Structure 1
Amino acid sequence: MHFLCASNDLAEGHSRAFSVAGIALFGVRRQGTVHLYRNRCPHRGIPLNWAADSFLDDSASLIQCAHHGAQFLIESGECITGPCAGEWLEALDCREDSQGIWLTD
């Protein structure tokens, strides 16, 4: 397991970038649950964000690729609009405990 951050460092309705063993990932907290994905758009294989920790659309209800506007469901990573519609972000297993948020192997 790899420690990512303390629980209060990923607030409800926000996203945050992480790097573990050279792999870029990001987490989003929605309705108290943390969803963790590899930071790689299925359209071009590039990072989703331009600005640090900025992975959500203006309403904070969808993950959005800053490069081509693809939008993904937070809970599943499914692309619902944009050039990669029907494709999925790579979900990663995580858990949260009293120490914080962890990437599980």
Structure 2
Amino acid sequence: MPQQPVFLCHQHQLEEGQARGFDPWGEGRDSVIAMIWQGQVRVYANLCPHFGVTMQFRKDRFMSGDGAHIVCFAHGALFDPDDGACVLGPCLGQALTALAVTTDEASGLWLSA
């Protein structure tokens, strides 16, 4: 049986180049990373493909100091925000899991089931 889409946020709550964490399923932890990158909404599971841990240093701290990459602060792997591919670190050849979203300008971003 298909699941219903889950509300993530309103698009205006995201800023270009700034990743934010969300807890859309009420698990008590940010399990989703969302951002606008080069004008496009990007949404990934907050789970490092190398070690299976959440990636932020603290709330909403996912980006490298220069703002060019998503970072796994557990071991320093760098990921391309455009497609989630690991570009440096122990998980080269792997990528963040992209999550499907639908965008409704009136009501925001919805995680697809």
- Corresponding residue number in structure 1 for 2:110: 102
| Distance in structure 1 (CA, Å) of the matches to 2:40 and 2:103 | 9
Larger Cα-atom Rg: 2
1:19 aligned partner: 23
Code of the aligned partner of 1:58: G
Q: State TM-score, norm by structure 2.
A: 0.86
Match of residue 75 from structure 2: 68
Gaps of 5+ in 1: none
Aligned length: 105
Q: For 1:51, what is the secondary structure of its paired residue?
A: coil
Structure 2, unmatched stretches of 5+, are: none
Tell whether 2:83 aligns with 1:79.
no
| Counterpart residue identity of residue 12, structure 1 | E
Asked whether the 8 Å contact 2:33–2:43 carries over to 1, the reply is: yes
Instruction: Give the fraction of aligned pairs with identical amino acids, expressed as a percent.
Output: 36
CA contact (8 A) 2:49 2:96 kept: yes
Amino acid at match of 2:64: D
More strand by share: 1
For 1:4, the equivalent position in structure 2 comes to 8
Q: CA RMSD for the aligned pairs?
A: 1.3
Partner secondary structure for residue 47 of structure 1 = coil
